[in-house]
Amino acid sequence: MPFIDRFASAVVTGAPPILVLIGMYLGWMDHLLVWQDLVIFAICYAGIGMGITVGFHRLLTHRSFKCNRWVRAGFAALGSAAAEGPVIDWVATHRKHHQFSDEAGDPHSPHACEDHGFKGAFKGLLHAHIGWVFSDMEVADEERYAKDLLADPLLKFVDRTFVLWVALGLALPFGLGVAVSGNVTGGLCALLWGGALRIFLMHHATFSINSLCHFFGDQDYDTGDESRNLAWLAVPTWGEAWHNTHHAFPTSYRHGADARQLDLSAEFIEVLERLGIVWDVVRIPDERRQRKARIAA
Ligand SMILES: [Zn+2]
Ligand SMILES: [Zn+2]
């Protein structure tokens, strides 16, 4: 990869989090940010994040495990609070992505741009990251891609009441902030970190899977597309950045290939399995993994 590409991607991905950290430091010095806000942020980022990774993605899109209909609806409600769109629309779009991965019809491929070189790469990444959200060209037909979810009245209810779950996801940090500080200002500060910043970071974590994980990183498996494993992104995405492995084995409950590839969503599913809350967890046998591996394990 040319140096200029590496440099540009380091700047655009590295500068915003550094600036947020500087903002947090200044807030901390002025007592506008207190440690309770960071705990509330962590609770919201982890809980609602799992709603997307374990709920929307591994359970509802790929059926990586089974659970009862109330737990299913609970995951759908939790993921809805991330404000990434109504659950059935999210699932339909993602299933369409897997069907056409990096080919015509993929709702968000960074390789769809016809321009070449740096300009083409930038335009492609911008489209895959956020541009596609503003385009109605790539809307996935819910009847075609998510018929199973449309047939579930509980899920349909969660889908149609999307705004309510987003509002509850904002009420949670505000309520916790008021409870720990005893005043409305404390609630508003908690809302800023556990609501606004949490939505911003989670959006870009999800968008990065669509953009960066189809552009930068390693291809451990032959998938016939441009999906990549991007190790540094595995922590903020709860394991979703092992995206090439995921394209190789979409139904696997674990996206990281083994314990060395940190995948906290998979660890959470294992805990739920031990508690008897989920079952029929899909595991890929080692022989199948090795058959698809590009580099012999
Ligand atoms: Zn993908
Ligand atoms: Zn997927």
Kindly state the average pLDDT of the residues 257-266: 90
Q: Pick 32 or 180 by higher pLDDT.
A: 180
**Which of the ligands is closest to the CA of residue 58?**
2
Kindly state the average pLDDT of the residues 273-295: 92
Question: How large is the angle between the packed helices 69-80 and 87-100, nearest 10 degrees?
Answer: 90
Summarize pLDDT for 225-257 with one digit per residue, the tens. Answer: 889 999 999 999 999 999 999 999 999 999 998
Reference 88, options 55, 126, 120, 64; nearest CA is 55
Q: List C-alpha distances in Å: 14 to 18, 114, 167, 193.
A: 6, 27, 30, 20
Q: What is the pTM of this model?
A: 0.87
Most confident of 29-33, 82-86, 269-273: 269-273
Which pLDDT value is given to residue 176? 96
Measured between alpha carbons, how far is 207 from 133 in angstroms, rounded to an integer? 10
Spacing, Cα 241 to ligand 2 middle (Å): 11
Spacing, Cα 273 to ligand 1 middle (Å): 26
Helices (H), the chain: 3-29, 35-50, 69-80, 87-100, 117-129, 142-145, 147-150, 153-160, 162-181, 184-191, 198-210, 243-248, 264-274, 286-292
Which pLDDT value is given to residue 71? 97
- 274 in helix, strand or coil? helix
**Which of the ligands is closest to the CA of residue 244?**
1
List the chain domain ranges: 36-218+277-287
Kindly state the average pLDDT of the residues 39-58: 96
Kindly state the average pLDDT of the residues 13-35: 75
Comparing 26-35, 163-172, 279-288, which segment has the lowest mean pLDDT? 26-35
Percentage of the chain exceeding pLDDT 90: 57
Spacing, Cα 270 to ligand 2 middle (Å): 19
Residue 80 has which token pair?
A: 């809805």
pLDDT of residue 109 exceeding 80, the answer is: no
Spacing, Cα 221 to ligand 1 middle (Å): 13
What residues pack around ion ligand 1 (CB closer than 5 A)?
A: 227
Average pLDDT of the chain is 88
Comparing 85-89, 211-215, 275-279, which segment has the lowest mean pLDDT? 211-215
Measured between alpha carbons, how far is 4 from 2 in angstroms, rounded to an integer? 5
pLDDT of residue 216 exceeding 50, the answer is: yes
pLDDT of residue 4 exceeding 80, the answer is: no
Q: Would you place residue 1 in the very low, low, confident or very high pLDDT band (cuts 50, 70, 90)? A: low
Summarize pLDDT for 149-205 with one digit per residue, the tens. Answer: 999 999 999 999 999 999 999 999 999 999 999 999 889 989 999 999 999 999 899
Q: Pick 74 or 6 by higher pLDDT.
A: 74
Residue with tokens 């999906």: 227
DSSP structure class, residue 131: G
Q: Are 81 and 48 in contact, with CB atoms under 8 Å apart?
A: yes
pLDDT of residue 64 exceeding 90, the answer is: yes
Residues 6+ apart with CB under 8 A from 191: 170, 173, 174, 177
DSSP structure class, residue 146: -
Which pLDDT value is given to residue 297? 46
Spacing, Cα 251 to ligand 2 middle (Å): 8
Q: Would you place residue 104 in the very low, low, confident or very high pLDDT band (cuts 50, 70, 90)? A: confident
